Amino acid sequence: MNNHLISLTVKSLILCTIVVSTSFAQNKKKTETMQTNNSLLKKWTGPYGGVPAFDKMKMGDVKPALETGMVENLKEIDAITENPDAPTFENTIVEMEKSGKTLDRVFSYYGILSSNLSSADFRKIQSEMAPVLSEFSSKISQNKKLFDRIKTVYENSLKNPLEADQQRVVLLVYERFAMNGAELNEEKKARYAEINKELSTLYTNFSNNILADEENYVTYLTKDQLSGLSESMIKSAAKTASDKGKEGMYAITNTRSSMDPFLTYSNERELREKVWKTYYSRGDNGDKFDNNENVKKILILRKERVALLGFDNYADWRLQNRMAKTPKNAMELMNAVWPSAIARVKEEVADMQAIADENGDNIIIEPWDYRYYAEKVRKQKYDLDSDEVKQYLQLDKLTQALFFVAQEVFNFKFTPVKEGSVPVFHEDVRVWEVTDKTSGKFIGLWYLDPFARQGKRSGAWATTYRNYSTFDGEKTVLGSNNLNFVKPAPGEPVLVSWDDATTFLHEFGHALHFFSSEVRYPTLNGGVRDYTEFQSQVLERWLSTDKVINQFLVHYKTGLPMPKELIAKIKKSSTFNQGFSTTEYLASAIMDMKLHLADPTNMDVDAFERETLAAMDMPKELVMRHRTPHFGHVFSGEGYATAYYGYMWADVLTADAAEAFQEAPGGFYDKELSAKMVKYLFAPRNSVDPAEAFKQFRGRDATIDALLRDRGFPVPEKKI
């Protein structure tokens, strides 16, 4: 499962959660004068329908640009609410869809500065602006006149239905406002807005604390501590240390992309323990960056906020319009898989302990040993060496593999743009033009930011700077994938693990979802949280197809294709270590749900985590993928709060869809089935109910059976 946060437009994200300060009006004149000189506010110009001027970003422009954008957006909302004509889809919903364009542009820059180029100066601005943005969002989401118009359009549409996509937009807009307190009385609205303001600050603090721990804790090695590490990893670690002013040493940074391979290959057990503890204690060190109190406050405020709406807990409120509908349904899915997952962990640990005993290592398997000995089991059981596989996984070749899949399955062609023709925010970023292979029609631009750096949050994610829509003139897509591969030494190839290659395809799946869009209205480019991972997870399946392996997985030195014997070993070991990967993910997903179902009033977060895991019979040899104090998916915002289960919910759909391709005459490159998948599961985005969309593709509802088969677990009768 990938540590990433699928992007909604920032506008929709804010409106879904909260949002202005009365000081805006006082500053209106000032901000309007600054607009002509502020690059963040200017309309995008240049080729491809206009592109962000990332090369002109200035820190001093951020705050005034946000203020100007908010003032303008509020004026647009006022124009809607003051319209004397009766509310209609055109004069209310469509006008809302048109609003906030300046602010959307500003947030494209703001998102880059937050996620890809964060600095101490920016974090100060972020902390200052978080509550202001919250107040702004509340001014819109709690605007009675605006909601009255929305409600009128919604109720009229129930009597006299609109076109299908318009009906969907009205439903989504109405639900968004109703779920966020639009119908509360004035006293409750005030408290609701105040809670959101407090939460916005806590979310920012939580995120910045994680980033601080990732930046502040680095494990430096000397030459005699490199045993077991590959040549490419050693060179990369040397470069990282040199960049940090530690010439002659080797740096293991406090990120997954650096930690994971070190724990897999290092023969130095004490160092493995140190790196493991450093990574999994992020946000939990009892210092000024400790997040436990932030988590408790967030949980208390979330519970209080939904109580204003009449809900007993945050999970009931959040899941009401998701595929799962209720926490009970989500928990039933997770509980159906959990026993098989931890049973498999026991088998995996037994295999690892046997090897340790045979080697006379005189140890009991601990969490920092799991990856190391699992690799030895892989070699013993399948004669498969992960480092050998890595020699065939070059980043450049993988990128070409992505383009091949996009062309064969989606009919997209990717062509590098002329150097310097599109501004980028960092020298590492590369840009491609996306066109329809058959017609040559321009679809959008794809930005790739592949490497880890100081100030870039860990993990992998996808986002858009501009979404597709046609209601107000056709808008083409500007989509981006962001990863954290460790940058190699100069002249060295970027070699990645099979898991990292899978992550690359996963994120590219989100990008293809963006580029496939055929919706009219911006709101329909959003998604249902326990469905939005399907499109990315299903694309992972193409990595192990013969056409990708035979053409693009070639040895970085010889250029020879991966040997058939090695391919056979990879496929044979496809369910290897599923106990570990399923259990570490599920533990996080179950913890997310249980934290939001519990009463947080007197909660000791660390104790709650320990006791909950003990009650679940969590194997002691591994931990949650995201421990609570650094669970950014859930506590740096609300996108995945009580929704982390969505990865597994989506994987039920993914496994079922993958079996459809396995059964098709052309396999994963079956033209008819590919077209059907794009038509029903990618192009509609959120214009169709996800359950109905899947049924249109598969001819029936999804079942859990395919997921369990896929992971090598026993298959029960029950369906979700």
- Tens digits of per-residue pLDDT, 459-516? 999 999 999 999 999 999 999 999 999 898 888 999 999 999 999 999 999 999 999 9
pLDDT level of residue 12 (50, 70, 90 thresholds): very low
Least confident segment among 110-119, 299-308, 701-710: 701-710
Confidence of residue 313 (pLDDT cuts 50, 70, 90): very high
Answer yes or no: same fold for 10-183 and 292-384+577-635: yes
Confidence label for 529 from pLDDT (cuts 50, 70 and 90): confident
| Identity of the residue numbered 174 | Y
Q: What is the mean pLDDT of residues 591-619?
A: 97
Give alpha helix (H) positions in 116-230.
120-141, 144-159, 164-179, 186-216
Segment 286-302 shows an average pLDDT of: 98
| 298-307 pLDDT tens trace | 999 999 999 9
**Cα torsion through 132, 138, 144, 149, rounded to 10:** 110
Residue 357, pLDDT > 60, answer yes
Q: Residue 105: CB partners within 8 Å, gap ≥ 6?
A: 40, 41, 43, 44, 52, 69
Is the pLDDT at 371 greater than 50, yes or no?
A: yes
Q: Which residue has the tokens 């049973």?
A: 343
On the question of pLDDT at 25 being above 50, the answer is: no
List the one residue out of 112, 165, 2 whose CA is nearest residue 535: 2
Query: What tens digit of pLDDT does each residue of 431-446 get?
Result: 999 999 999 999 999 9
The whole-number average pLDDT for the span 303-320 is 97
Q: Helix %, strand %, coil % for the chain, to 5?
A: 60, 10, 35
CATH number attached to the domain at 10-183: 1.10.1370.40
3-state secondary structure of 400: helix
User: Residue by residue, what is the 3-state secondary structure of 278-331?
Assistant: HHHCCCCCCCCCCCHHHHHHHHHHHHHHHHHCCCCCHHHHHHHHCCCCCHHHHH
Region 220-248: mean pLDDT is: 95
Question: In this structure, are strands 442-451 and 477-485 parallel, antiparallel, or unpaired?
Answer: parallel
State both tokens at 14. Answer: 């804010």
Phi, psi of 585 (to 5 degrees): -70, -50
Residue from 425, 422, 482 nearest 58 by CA: 425
Contact 636, 206 (CB under 8 A): yes
pLDDT surpasses 70 at 334: yes
- Is 718 a residue whose pLDDT tops 70? no
User: What's the mean pLDDT when you consider all of the chain?
Assistant: 93
Least confident among 22-36, 81-95, 169-183, 442-456: 22-36
* Cβ contacts of 214 within 8 Å, gap of 6 or more: 253, 254, 255, 282, 457, 458
pLDDT higher than 60, residue 22: no
Residue 161 CA to chain centroid, in angstroms? 35
- Residue 508 corresponds to which tokens in the numbers above? 């590219």
In the numeric block, which tokens belong to residue 250? 């080797």
The tokens of 713 are what? 């677990």
Q: Residue 176: what are its φ and ψ, rounded to 5°?
A: -60, -45
82-87 contacts at long range (C-beta below 8 A, 24 or more positions apart): 82/145, 86/152, 87/148, 87/149, 87/150, 87/152, 87/153, 87/156
pLDDT at 34: 52
- The stretch 339-344 carries a mean pLDDT of 97
Say which residues have a Cβ less than 8 Å from residue 712's Cβ, sequence separation at least 6. Answer: 344, 575, 578
Please report the pLDDT score of residue 53 as a whole number.
97
Q: Which residues contact 193 (CB under 8 A, 6 or more apart)?
A: 18, 134, 135, 138, 142
Q: Under CATH, to which class is 292-384+577-635 assigned? A: mainly alpha
- DSSP state at residue 562: P
Q: Which of the four pLDDT bands, split at 50, 70 and 90, describes residue 715?
A: confident
* % of the chain residues with pLDDT over 70: 94
Higher pLDDT, 635 or 703: 635
What local confidence, expressed as pLDDT, does residue 35 receive?
Answer: 58
| C-alpha–C-alpha distance, residues 168 and 178, integer Å | 15
Domain boundaries, the chain: 10-183, 217-280, 292-384+577-635
What is the structure's pLDDT at 7?
A: 34
Residue with tokens 């003139």: 473
pLDDT attached to residue 489: 86
DSSP one-letter string for 455-483 = TPPSS-EEEEEE--B-BTB-B-EEEEEEE
Which residues have CB under 8 Å from 178's CB, separation 6+? Answer: none
pLDDT band at 717 (very low <50, low <70, confident <90, very high): low
- The pLDDT score that the predictor gives to residue 420 is 92
Helix (H, G, I), strand (E, B) or coil at 226: coil
- Asked whether the beta carbons of 590 and 242 are under 8 A apart, the reply is no
d(CA 62, CA 39): 10
What strands lie across the sheet with 477-485, from one edge to the other?
412-416, 430-436, 442-451, 477-485, 461-466
Long-range interactions of 552-555: CB distance < 8 A, separation 24+: 552/397, 552/398, 552/400, 552/401, 552/404, 553/392, 553/393, 553/397, 553/401, 554/392, 554/394, 554/397, 555/391, 555/392
Q: In this predicted structure, what is the pLDDT of residue 458? A: 87
| CA 386, chain centre distance (Å) | 26
Tell how far CA 680 is from the center of its chain: 22
Taking the C-alpha atoms of residue 493 and residue 165, their distance in angstroms, rounded to an integer, is: 47
How far apart, in whole angstroms, are the C-alpha atoms of residue 329 and residue 351?
A: 34
